[in-house]
Amino acid sequence: MDIADFDRPAATVAAALIGHVLLVEGVGGTIVETEAYDRTDPASHSFAGPTRRNASMFGPPGRAYVYRSYGLHWCLNLVCESGSAVLLRALAPSAGLDTMRARRGLDDPRRLCAGPGRLAQALGIDASHDGAALDRAPFAWGPPEGPVAVAATTRIGITKAAETPWRFLLAGSPYVSRPLPRTR
């Protein structure tokens, strides 16, 4: 991902990010699950306009938006077009496994980064990263290594706009927080 690529609709960026490698201080892996949120979306923190918490969502694209979830967890978003962002929900861990295991207090690689709170904990993300530029340290990026099969489905944990298919997955990945719903 080039920094300029973030200045597009969140759903476009969310799909394009699948398969890229994200590292924070050299720790991370391949992005396998994302969700998009934008200004016109009732489920988005930005829906009601700028506030103290969501200020980063209305700042320049290509930066981080970090918020506290349920008073317990940090969640990492990547800011796109003004008022929109992509929530990182899961990685396939590939770098700094020992660091992630220590931060998470468990071994199972499938559970190290499967979920927004878990991912942020494994990467050492907290409020100090809010507003940080994504094209310099501690962040580093790598392109997909081959063809990427992206699947789209509904988002998780929301009550408004629950039917909007803005959750993107690396098809078949065992590292997602929840599998693609069964079709029939």
Partner DNA sequence: CACCAGATCTTCT
Partner DNA sequence: GAAGATCTGGTGG
Q: Judged by CB under 7 A, which stretch of 12-20, 23-31, 112-120, 168-176 contacts DNA? A: 112-120
**Does residue 159 belong to the site contacting DNA (CB under 7 A)?**
yes
150 burial class (0-12, 13-18, 19+ CB within 10 angstroms)?
middle
**Site string (165-184) toward DNA, x via CB under 7 A:** ------------x-------
Per CB under 7 A, the list member of 20, 39, 73, 101 interacting with DNA is: 73
Tell how strand 150-153 and strand 139-142 pair up: unpaired
CB 117 within 8 A of CB 75: yes
**Does residue 85 belong to the site contacting DNA (CB under 7 A)?**
yes
**Does residue 111 belong to the site contacting DNA (CB under 7 A)?**
yes
Residue 22 exposure: Cα atoms within 13 Å on the Cβ side = 28
Q: Cα(77)–Cα(183) distance, rounded to whole angstroms? A: 29
**Does residue 53 belong to the site contacting DNA (CB under 7 A)?**
yes
**Does residue 20 belong to the site contacting DNA (CB under 7 A)?**
no
Task: Give 108-170 as a DSSP string.
Answer: -HHHHSBSHHHHHHHHT--GGGTT-BTTSTTEEEE--SS---EEEE--SS-STTTT---EEEE
**Does residue 77 belong to the site contacting DNA (CB under 7 A)?**
yes
**Does residue 68 belong to the site contacting DNA (CB under 7 A)?**
yes
**Does residue 75 belong to the site contacting DNA (CB under 7 A)?**
yes
**Per-residue DSSP letter, 107:** -
Least CB distance from residue 89 to DNA, whole Å?
8
**Does residue 162 belong to the site contacting DNA (CB under 7 A)?**
no
118 burial class (0-12, 13-18, 19+ CB within 10 angstroms)?
buried
Q: Cα(6)–Cα(85) distance, rounded to whole angstroms? A: 9
Q: Judged by CB under 7 A, which stretch of 13-21, 72-80, 132-140, 146-154 contacts DNA? A: 72-80
Per CB under 7 A, the list member of 28, 61, 62, 116 interacting with DNA is: 116
Residues that bind DNA (CB under 7 A): 35, 37, 43-46, 48, 51-54, 57, 65, 68-73, 75, 77, 85, 87, 104, 106, 111, 115-119, 155-159, 177
